[in-house]
Amino acid sequence: VDETVYCGGIEAALNQNLLCRLNIEYIVDLSGHEDDPALVNTRPRSEYPCLCPKRTAHSRMTMSIKIKDD
């Protein structure tokens, strides 16, 4: 969207290497996938420790927002 806001799908949000490479630390989840029983446990709603080879410890946070369809 601009220099500080990116827009992507669930696949991009799950790609830890891409998120780290782009220095993305915060994710706002608007997918509404908690309504889909098949996807409920695919992503916990908490801090994501990064497993990349950077020397400094870092993680990313996710906030889930449900938007009504009406």
Residue 13: closest CA among 68, 66, 60: 60
For the chain of 70 residues, list the mean pLDDT of each consecutive stretch of 10.
Answer: 80 83 85 61 55 76 80
Domain residue limits, the chain: 10-64
d(CA 29, CA 36): 14
The whole-number pLDDT of residue 31 equals 78
d(CA 18, CA 24): 9
Strand 26-29 relative to strand 48-49, pairing = unpaired
By the 8 A CB rule, do 30 and 63 touch? no
